[in-house]
Structure 1
Amino acid sequence: MLKDEEFFMLLDLAREQELATGKVNISLLSRETGYDRKTIARHLSLDQPSKHPQTRNKPSKLDPFKPYIQERLNNYPRLSRVRLLEEIQNLGYDGGPTILGDFIRQIRPNITIPAEIRYETKPGEMMQCDWLEYPYETADGSRKKVYGLSMVLGYSRMRYVEFFPHQGLPALLKGHLGAFEYFGGVTEMILYDNLRSVVLNRKYPSTSSEFHPLFADFRDHFGFTSRLCRLGRAKTKGKVERAIHYIKDNLLYGRMFHSIEDLNLQARTWLNCVNGKVHGTTHEIPFDRLVRENLRPFSSYKPYLLKRKESRKVSKDCYISLYGNSYSVPWKFAGRRVDAYIHENHVSIHADGTEICTHILLNRRNERSKKKEHFEGLYKEILGLSSNGAKKERVNKPAIDQHSVETRDLAEYDVFAEEGRV
Structure 2
Amino acid sequence: MNPIVVHFYFPISGTLFIPIDKGKVERPYTFIREGFWRGYGYLCLDTANRDLGSWLKRKDQRVHGTTHEVVATRFEREQPHLGSIPRQPFDTAYRIFRKVHKDCTVRFEGNSFVVPHPLVGRTIVLRVKEQTMRIFDDDRLVVTYEIPSTKGNLVQDKRFYAALKKDREMNRRKYGRPKPGKGRAKRTISPSKPLYDMPVDIRPIDVYDQFVQEVQP
TM-score, length of structure 2 as denominator length = 0.41
Structure possessing the higher radius of gyration over alpha carbons: 2
